[in-house]
Amino acid sequence: EGEGSVFSCRGVTVRYGDVVALADVGVAFERGMIHAVVGQNGAGKTTFARVVAGLVRPETGELSIDGRVLSGGDVNEARGAGVELVHQSFALPPSFTVAEAMQFGAKGGGLYTKSMLEKRWQPHLDGLDVKVAAKRRIRDLPVETQQGVEIARALVTDAKLLILDEPTAVLSPEGAQKLFERVRRLKARGVTVILILHKIREVLAVADTVTVLRGGRLVEGPIPCEGVDAGRLAELIIGPA
């Protein structure tokens, strides 16, 4: 298991004091697909996202990106391997312009002229159909556009695995449709996407596979979404009465 997958892990356990947030989780995600991770509040979804992104070091277990074993708990190591996380509440400073935001965290900025930099990031906005002027401030943009800028920014570093943690939580239903279109564009460009979601309807609308967490354990997955029954998925999420 895990051969040729873009991400795989096994035996991952994370504890916060007495709370077991993830217990012996093992999963492998195939490259170039949209993978949903679902579960109820407290199921461990955000912790899982943080483990993949190197923000949390598991107590036990092994992670690999592209077959390369990572030590875990190291954001720079994860980013170096091509992993980027977009949080539910965005990380870009609200006072930044779009141009500043797109350069945020990029390496070697000082060596390039403004127009060279713009050539580097503008295609990522265009590729996601984010229509916004470079001099607008983040705080003045509609939330869908802020999110679009944030996703595009993650791509500047050549992310091959993008994790979106509850990206629809801040969006209207129309905004969610726009996000799903952007996620499909990412897939078309070969980027693997892990989507943390909690609505079954959204999972079935956008994902290729679904992985279910319950009480920190992996219940099942990745299951191909094609032919997944919504009722059965709800049972997996909620668990036995």
Q: Is 16 in the site for ligand ATP (CB under 6 A)?
A: yes
* 119-150 b/e (C-beta count within 10 Å ≥ 16 → b): eebbebbeebebebeeebebeebeebbbbbbb
Q: What one-letter code names the amino acid at 13?
A: T
> Is beta strand 83-86 parallel, antiparallel or unpaired with respect to 68-70?
unpaired
Site string for ligand ATP, 44-83 (x = CB under 6 A): xxxx------------------------------------
CB of 102 vs ligand ATP, minimal distance in Å? 28
* 56-75 b/e (C-beta count within 10 Å ≥ 16 → b): bebeebbbbbeeeebebbee
CB of 207 vs ligand ATP, minimal distance in Å? 17
User: Among 36-44, 64-72, 201-209, 217-225, which window interacts with ligand ATP (CB under 6 A)?
Assistant: 36-44
How far apart (Å, rounded) are the C-alpha atoms in residues 138 and 151? 13
What are the beta bridge partners of residue 25? 12
What is the distance of C-alpha 53 from the center of its chain? 9
User: Among 39-47, 65-73, 186-194, 221-229, which window interacts with ligand ATP (CB under 6 A)?
Assistant: 39-47
- Considering only 21, 83, 86, 176, the residue that binds ligand ATP (CB under 6 A) is 21
Residue number with CB closer to ligand ATP (16 or 190)? 16
Count interface residues toward ligand ATP (CB under 6 A): 11
Closest CA to 40 of 210, 213, 206: 213
CB of 196 vs ligand ATP, minimal distance in Å? 7
- Considering only 26, 42, 175, 239, the residue that binds ligand ATP (CB under 6 A) is 42
Residue number with CB closer to ligand ATP (44 or 222)? 44
Phi and psi dihedrals of 48, rounded to 5? -60, -45
CB of 236 vs ligand ATP, minimal distance in Å? 14
Binding site for ligand ATP (CB under 6 A): 16, 19, 21, 39, 41-47
